[in-house]
Amino acid sequence: MIHDPMFLLVSVSTLVVLIILMFGIGSFARGGEFNRKHANRIMRYRIIAQAVAVIIIVGVAWLRSKSGS
């Protein structure tokens, strides 16, 4: 499983979403000027990364169903 490139691609994409989410939640919890200036941009990046991750996951599932493994 760890040597499967598709698994690694899905893992990296979900990890990127998690990192962006944690960074956004952390800046929101601290508040301040940084949060006021960048909160919407950070969450926009999260939504984009999440959409890409979902597309990758669905694509991998579709490829797996077609190949039979």
Q: According to the model, what pLDDT value does residue 69 have? A: 57
Cβ within 8 Å of residue 27, ≥6 positions away:
34, 35, 38, 39, 42
Q: What is the model's pTM?
A: 0.84
Q: What stretches in the chain show pLDDT beneath 50?
A: none
Neighbours of 16 (CB within 10 A): 16
SS3 68: coil
Instruction: For the chain, give every domain's residue range.
Output: 5-64
